[in-house]
Amino acid sequence: MSETNKTEAVKVGAAAASDEREVLLRVEGLQKHFPIRKGVLQRQVGAVKAVDGIDFEVRKGETLGVVGESGCGKSTMGRVITRLQDPTGGTIHFEGKDITRLNTAGMRPLRRDIQMIFQDPYGSLNPRHTIGGIVSAPFRLQGVEPEGGVKKEVQRLLELVGLSPEHYNRYPHEFSGGQRQRIGIARALALKPKLVVADEPVSALDVSIQAQVVNLMDDLQQELGLTYVIIAHDLSVVRHVSDRIAVMYLGKIVELADRTSLYEAPMHPYTKALMSAVPVPDPKRRGAKSERILLRGDVPSPISPPSGCRFHTRCWKATEVCRTTEPPLAELRPGQRVACHHPENFEDQQPQDTVLLSVAKEAAELVPTEEAAEADGSEENPEASATDDKK
């Protein structure tokens, strides 16, 4: 799948934004705030800004990967674009139709086209229903009578995802994690959806099984022409499956680019830090890593996100402008959108602003080699900055 898309993305270059491929899903200014209520009157005292204004589009036949640390809003985003939760702001267009405010009845016909695969293969299958019952539920709910009957179709689906048709009458507990995930995939594919949103589809599985499911999703995409939005925290998996990747931080997309540009020349410091933190399964690289960025501290709270650029409390390049002004998500290079005042691998957007914030000096540790890590082994604590600065 990916080889062609990739070369295409590079070739199309300037026209990447208006790729000839049709836009299936367009999201603009999407917000999801969860109110925090307190007191007898349950007055709203604040909000968890899980998703706070994001824009992107998903084109037909592609895979959009969404990565970020836990709490960055990626799962909420997945639930909002499938309308499992209602957005508090912004719009969602599916095939050109505004689905932001559709009610349950209005959404029902669209449920065929948008399906979801969940993370936990244990929690997402009803233990009291047979596999046949679970996978045929979409047909019952939508009143669809497939050719040759429901049972035959379900058995075909089970075969499609690598299970045996004899599993029809079994219960979820009889299956292993990987097999359950296949059942979840069969259910999602039952109605031939156009868009499949997969929230951490493989993170609960063992590596060898993970590879089986990744390959399966890959095959199904080619066979059925599916469009995927894959939400995951594992950057290696996302790199493997995605054509384009969105990096989220505290409810915002900080970088959105095709896979090659993102992994080879990440522009947002956060993307860079995130990727340098991924352990590489190659012991020879241990000392050879040219530059490793070790972010300090944790992600700030989405209840009161930092002003300006949300990453400025942990960024080693943060300056005054980062604290005061929020950088727009701008297309700096064709097909690569970045929200940063001082991007990596690109010219500075705010060159006049050079004085680093005091937190920036302590925000991250740049570890050039193993030896350096050894040398400064004892200074470990100036982490206070990251978590407490925002107050």
Partner 1 sequence: MTELSKTGAAMGEPTSSPSNAPDAFLAVRDLKVHFPTDDGLVKSVDGLSFEVEKGKTLCIVGESGSGKSVTSLAIMGLHRLGARGKNVQMSGEIWLDGQELVSADPDEVRRLRGREMAMIFQDPLSAMHPYYTVGNQIVEAYRVHHDVNKKTARKRAVEMLDRVGIPEPDKRVDNYPHEFSGGMRQRAMIAMALVNNPELLIADEPTTALDVTVQAQILDLIRDLQKEFGSAVILITHDLGVVAEIADDVLVMYGGRCVERGTVDDVFERPQHPYTWGLLGSMPRIDRETSERLIPVKGQPPSLINVPSGCAFHPRCPYADLPKGDVTRTVRPELQPVGSGHFSACHLSPEDRTRIWTEEIAPKL
Site residues for partner 1 per CB under 8 A = 2-3, 6, 69-70, 176-179, 206-212, 214-215, 218, 233-237, 239-241, 260, 263, 273-286, 292, 294-299, 373-374, 377-378, 380-384, 387-388
CB 157, CB 79: distance < 8 Å: no
Q: Which lies closer to partner 1 via its Cβ, residue 97 or residue 284?
A: 284
φ and ψ of 258, to 5 deg: -70, 160
Q: Taking the complex as a whole, how short is the minimal distance between the CB of residue 200 and partner 1, in angstroms?
A: 13
Q: Which CB atom, from 103 or from 290, has the smaller least distance to partner 1?
A: 290
The residue with tokens 């590596």 is 207
Locus of tokens 């931080």: 249
Question: Rounded to the nearest whole angstrom, what is the least distance from the CB of residue 108 to partner 1 in the complex?
Answer: 37
Distance CA 13, CA 21 (A): 14
Nearer to partner 1, 25 or 257 (CB): 257
Burial-class residue 183 by CB neighbours within 10 Å (0-12, 13-18, 19+).
Answer: buried
Helix (H) / strand (E) element for 388: namely helix 384-388
**Measured between alpha carbons, how far is 27 from 49 in angstroms, rounded to an integer?**
17
Tokens representing 297? 């501290």
Q: How far apart, in whole angstroms, are the C-alpha atoms of residue 272 and residue 31? A: 26
Residue 129: exposure state from Cβ atoms within 10 A (0-12, 13-18, ≥19) = middle
Q: In the complex, what is the shortest distance from the CB of residue 211 to partner 1, in angstroms, rounded to a whole number? A: 3
Smallest distance, Å, CB 107 to partner 1?
33
Q: Which residue number, 169 or 208, has a Cβ lying nearer to partner 1?
A: 208
For partner 1, give the closer residue by CB, 128 or 284.
Answer: 284
Q: Which of 190, 260, 196 is nearest to 230 (CA)?
A: 196
Helix, strand, coil percentages for the chain (3-state, nearest 5): 35, 25, 40
* Nearest Cα residue to 89 out of 104, 78, 100, 97: 100
3-state DSSP assignment of residue 113: coil
Least distance in angstroms from the C-beta of 329 to partner 1: 21
157 versus 299: smaller Cβ distance to partner 1: 299
| Closest CB to partner 1 among residues 290, 352 | 290
In angstroms, what is the minimal distance from the CB of 365 to partner 1? 9
Q: Which two tokens stand for residue 11?
A: 């070739």
Shortest CB 140 distance to partner 1, Å = 30
- In the complex with partner 1, the residue whose CB is nearer, 212 or 227, is 212
Other beta carbons within 10 angstroms of residue 207's beta carbon come to 8
Q: Closest separation between CB of residue 69 and partner 1, Å?
A: 4
Amino acid letter for position 198: A
Between helix 207-224 and helix 177-189 the angle, nearest 10°, is 20
Of 51 and 274, CB closest to partner 1:
274
To the nearest whole angstrom, how small is the minimum distance from the Cβ of residue 31 to partner 1? 24
